[in-house]
Amino acid sequence: MCEATAYLAKNDGEEEVLLADVDIIEPMEEGRIRLVSIYGEQKLFKGRIKSMSLVNHRVVLAQE
């Protein structure tokens, strides 16, 4: 499987899982990012991509 897990980078250095098994990451208007899992679950996030490691299946997002 090639899906990723999307994490939220918190101010204290910790990371919180936003959505697992992410298949689609799509930029939207007004600085939002749309995440869609392989199961059809969707989340909208206002922020930016902080880092991505496709080999490790990780996407870290940060709030703005």
* First CA to last CA distance, the chain: 31
**Confidence bin at 59 (pLDDT 50/70/90):** very high
- Report domain extents, the chain: 4-63
What would the pLDDT profile of 12-39 be if each residue is shown by its tens digit?
999 999 999 999 999 999 999 999 999 9
Q: What is the CA radius of gyration of the chain?
A: 11
pLDDT at residue 64 tops 90:
no
The answer to whether 34 and 24 have CB atoms below 8 angstroms apart is yes
DSSP 35: E
The answer to whether 43 and 35 have CB atoms below 8 angstroms apart is yes
Nearest to 22 by CA among 52, 50, 48: 52
Question: Chain-wide mean pLDDT for the chain?
Answer: 95
